[in-house]
Structure 1
Amino acid sequence: MNSSAAPSAPASGPAPVSPRRAWYIAVVAGMASYLDAGAIAGSATALALYKEEFGFSGAQYSQLAALLTAMIAVGALIGGRLGDRYGRKRVFGLTMVLFALGAALLTFAPGVAFLYAGVAVLGFAAGADLPPSLAMVAESAPVGKKGKMIAFSHVLWMVGVVVVIFLQIGVGAMGVTGARIIFGHLLVVSLIVLVLRFGLPESLEWSAARSGATAEVQHDAIDFTSLKGLFRSRYAAPLVATGLFYALANIAANTNGQFQTVLYTQFAGLDFPTAGMYSLIGLVFVFVGMFTLMRLVDTRYRRPAFIVGAVLAVTAWIVPAVGGISVATLLTMSVLFALGGAIAGEPMYKVWSQELLPTLYRSTAQGITIAFARIVAAVVALVTYPILEVGPNALFGFLAVTTLAACLIGLLWISRMPKAESATGPALTPAPKAAQPSRAL
């Protein structure tokens, strides 16, 4: 491994971070999830308000939604790789500057052209921020609580959605001014996060792995300067499996996040504030699901919880597919998917991505899988609105199938994979071949 320029690390490996400090890092670094959610959910509402003011078409609304998702993908791909090469802190500091710029363009946009520019910058920054930030959370977590703290990052994601919904309720009737307030809140939060991140140290686990002072680096001869080891080693299968799981699971989650307001207002006949109230009801159950996952994810009950979540998530999309679009079916769908998706969806992707992949490939691998998933979601978003205008049954049936496929990948493939060696200890002699590796589910 080329480590001539690597920082030195103690022979005993990185010192553990205190629990209080670990939770502080989890919040400040994990705000990447809050801002990602704010960008997606906030754009869904704010662009709909801009649509009325600027008079652009439904096709342009779909284009902006797809552009946001595609740029999140591009950002994740680049930010993930940079996070492994140059460190978590350096990358997620720069991404906050870009995020604030994108939010400012959208807040003060005088016309449609500025919306396209703002969405592109905002999406890129949100995507680039996610992989190194999630890696930082995992690498600072105490032993035995990594799953819990990664799941907590998704709680922050949902807090972002809730804040946007409250803003929707409060400013939804204000037209373009309401849209500017929604994007303006993202600008303010990103600037606060930028300041707080200046005080974070670099990931000790990354620094130790970068210097070659951990077991995983020596055992697998990991070379952070090349991706050949990722694609040709035993980590290729987890990369593919988590990428497929997230891409399939995220189709439903992304559609729900970007088009729920449209479904309630244009297809179920509600106004924007009332639509926000109904969305909040569903989100109460998201937090029930998330705190359930946080409690069980590091225990032997993870697998049974995942199975229950999978059943609920698939059933959620069957309800409107069979019953048609109405306030009742959309609310039922929201509640079921809130519970099921929180346990058997994106949060488990985040947990698996930390457990199955080694430190020096972790951010890169997440960038690749996030990029793949968001590109798939962008393609689906591009055709979602036209499909809804023709007839919603096929769309909801498709979402049920993709959600089921994701859950089967988790149960039948990812659950059989061994976890990556711990990166928190010193460079050790590889474990005997007879030792049984822990499993991902």
Structure 2
Amino acid sequence: MYDDAAISKTHFKWTLIAGIGDFLDAGMLAGTGITLLAIGTLLHFTTIEDGLPALITLLGAAFGALFFGRLGDKFGRKYIYQIDMILYGVSAILLAITGIFLSRIFNIIWAMIFYALVGIAVGADVPTSWSLISEYSPKNYRGRLMSITTIMWYVGVLVELAVAILLYNTGMVLFRTIWIMLGVIAFISWILRRSLTESPRFDIMKGNKNDLERSAKMLHININSGKKEKLRIRSYKELFKKYGYFMLLAWFLYLMWGIPASTYGEFFPYIFSSIHIVSIRDTYAFEAIYFGSAIVPGLLIFYYLSDKIGRVPLYLTSAVMSALSFFLLIYPPFLKNVYVLLTSFLLFGIGQGLGVWPTTRLLSIEHFPTSLRNSGQGFVWFTMRFEAGIFGLFTPLIVSIGIVYIGWIAGTFFALAFIVVTLLYIFKPEYVKTERKSLEETSIDAPEEL
């Protein structure tokens, strides 16, 4: 029914609206990094305190995903949509006015509370958005529609970087502009999402006939023809007992990508301004090149090929490029060469847009059944963002010792990812070859006839 449907304008419209969550996730990560120097100067952060915004936002996202992931499976994807964007919008705008009134200590405390709430909202939203998109996507176009969420993420960063380049020397004006902008976009997202329907698979599972008929009508699908199906409601413990190996795979892929990407997302200006070969404004331009380069392969290659030739060839090519990009940083003289740095940024940008990030997203949703899809992603997101948050706390310290160590760590992660995915492709292809299969096939959640 939904799996074999033709792709329509409605699919794209819903994906763009749901994908605003990725835009705001990128906004949180990049906004934290872009504005770190401003808030750090205002509140006189120490080296350890420089890592606090990254730690707090990522921990907020971790616990938000863990808690709201389960609620999304119990009460529906739209239930989460009624809460998370309001929380994001209010918290971002309150964060924007940090430093206007209170003493340094109280400003730090309140800023960290608002960073945490923004993170919680992101953790609630993004796994839920991916569940919703995957559950109405036709099986032959799931990679295509999910790639749009990746592109929305990069667009979010580029919009912020454009603002940063325009306001690069304005300190807290930049800080307040970025966070107010994100807050307003969150409120707009909340309004737009009121037009979305519930996930059709969730409606099938819960027996919500009226909602199912509404979504079918909007997607031009006849739900009265063909085999009728019902989906089992599984207990939370089955997530670990039956789907434990899939959880382990998703956790591994997220860890290999998440720490390098979060480090660049939240610390790019901090890292590369520390080597003093370009201005702060040029650092923002370099970051725009890095993130912008990821959009082209996402649009022109993964978008068209992930559902045809499959995820693995794109992932392996991407992992090699990403590993090389970081290994370029382990030779100290290269850190003084602008052209080598640009090559490194382009390799990682093009590489992750080509396969690593969109494939990681897909494999985190395709192996869980409908009744555990949000929960599974929520748990994996919890581990990934928790680990990235801890790493983020110590990133300024690592940078102060030497950027080469960032290169060694991230390069090794992508090399390991290449090895593991290659072995799975050879010996356990069902773990990584998910193209052109229904979610029930990839999650071993075969529907039962009524």
Same-fold call, TM cutoff 0.5: yes
Q: Name the counterpart of 1:73.
A: 62
Instruction: State how far apart, in whole Å, the 1-side matches of 2:438 and 2:310 are.
Output: 22
Q: Name the counterpart of 2:366.
A: 355
Give the Å deviation of 1:119.
Answer: 0.5
Q: Within 5 A, what are the aligned runs for 1:278-289?
A: 278-289=286-297
Instruction: State how far apart, in whole Å, the 2-side matches of 1:223 and 1:212 are.
Output: 14
Instruction: State how far apart, in whole Å, the 2-side matches of 1:199 and 1:423 are.
Output: 27
Q: Within 5 A, what are the aligned runs for 1:293-304?
A: 293-304=302-313
Question: In the alignment, which of 236, 246, 263 is matched to residue 238 of structure 1?
Answer: 246
Whether the 8 Å CA contact 1:223–1:229 is kept in 2: the answer is no
Give the Å deviation of 1:13.
Answer: 8.1
Instruction: State how far apart, in whole Å, the 2-side matches of 1:44 and 1:271 are.
Output: 16
Whether the 8 Å CA contact 1:105–1:117 is kept in 2: the answer is no
What SS does the aligned partner of 2:335 have?
coil
| Alignment of 1:146 onto 2:128 | no
Whether the 8 Å CA contact 2:6–2:138 is kept in 1: the answer is yes
Whether the 8 Å CA contact 1:15–1:204 is kept in 2: the answer is no
| Alignment of 1:37 onto 2:26 | yes
Whether the 8 Å CA contact 2:80–2:125 is kept in 1: the answer is yes
Give the Å deviation of 1:305.
Answer: 2.1
Q: Within 5 A, what are the aligned runs for 1:206-221?
A: 206-211=202-207
Give the Å deviation of 1:413.
Answer: 2.8
CA deviation profile, 1:396-426 (whole Å, cap 9, x unmatched): 1111111222233333237623558545999
Q: Name the counterpart of 1:184.
A: 180
Whether the 8 Å CA contact 1:95–1:129 is kept in 2: the answer is yes
Whether the 8 Å CA contact 1:172–1:272 is kept in 2: the answer is yes
Q: Name the counterpart of 1:250.
A: 258
Instruction: State how far apart, in whole Å, the 1-side matches of 2:200 and 2:35 are.
Output: 39
Q: Within 5 A, what are the aligned runs for 1:38-437?
A: 38-110=27-99, 111-211=107-207, 222-224=232-234, 226-233=235-242, 235-291=243-299, 292-322=301-331, 323-326=333-336, 327-413=338-424, 416-417=429-430, 422-423=439-440, 427-428=447-448
CA deviation profile, 1:346-396 (whole Å, cap 9, x unmatched): 211111123222211111111111111111111111111111111222221
Give the Å deviation of 1:112.
Answer: 2.4
Task: Give the alignment's Cα RMSD to 1 decimal.
Answer: 2.5
Give the Å deviation of 1:14.
Answer: 9.6
Instruction: State how far apart, in whole Å, the 1-side matches of 2:233 and 2:201 are.
Output: 16
Instruction: State how far apart, in whole Å, the 2-side matches of 1:280 and 1:112 are.
Output: 29
User: Which amino acid is the alignment partner of residue 393 of structure 2?
Assistant: L
Instruction: State how far apart, in whole Å, the 2-side matches of 1:38 and 1:366 are.
Output: 20
Instruction: State how far apart, in whole Å, the 1-side matches of 2:303 and 2:189 are.
Output: 24
Give the Å deviation of 1:264.
Answer: 2.4
Whether the 8 Å CA contact 1:246–1:406 is kept in 2: the answer is no
What SS does the aligned partner of 1:189 have?
helix
What SS does the aligned partner of 1:173 have?
coil
Give the Å deviation of 1:122.
Answer: 0.5
The answer to which of 208-217 and 305-314 deviates more is: 208-217
Give the Å deviation of 1:16.
Answer: 5.4
The answer to which of 371-380 and 264-273 deviates more is: 264-273
User: Which amino acid is the alignment partner of residue 91 of structure 1?
Assistant: I
Unaligned runs of 5+ in 2: 100-106, 210-226
Instruction: State how far apart, in whole Å, the 1-side matches of 2:112 and 2:250 are.
Output: 31
Instruction: State how far apart, in whole Å, the 2-side matches of 1:76 and 1:349 are.
Output: 17
Instruction: State how far apart, in whole Å, the 1-side matches of 2:147 and 2:50 are.
Output: 32
What SS does the aligned partner of 1:55 have?
coil
Give the Å deviation of 1:167.
Answer: 1.0
Structure 1 residues 212 and 203, CA, compared in 2 at 3 Å: closer, same or farther? Answer: closer
Unaligned runs of 5+ in 1: 1-11, 431-441
CA deviation profile, 1:216-237 (whole Å, cap 9, x unmatched): 965xxx434x21222222x221
Give the Å deviation of 1:304.
Answer: 2.3
The answer to which of 179-188 and 405-414 deviates more is: 405-414
TM-score relative to the length of structure 2: 0.86
Instruction: State how far apart, in whole Å, the 2-side matches of 1:16 and 1:352 are.
Output: 22
Q: How many residues align?
A: 414
User: Which amino acid is the alignment partner of residue 417 of structure 1?
Assistant: E
Q: Name the counterpart of 2:213.
A: none
Give the Å deviation of 1:301.
Answer: 4.8
Instruction: State how far apart, in whole Å, the 1-side matches of 2:352 and 2:449 are.
Output: 40
What SS does the aligned partner of 1:268 have?
coil
Q: Name the counterpart of 2:217.
A: none
Structure 1 residues 74 and 216, CA, compared in 2 at 3 Å: closer, same or farther? Answer: farther
The answer to which of 209-218 and 191-200 deviates more is: 209-218
Whether the 8 Å CA contact 1:79–1:131 is kept in 2: the answer is no
Q: Name the counterpart of 1:437.
A: none
Give the Å deviation of 1:427.
Answer: 4.2
Give the Å deviation of 1:18.
Answer: 6.1
Give the Å deviation of 1:284.
Answer: 3.0
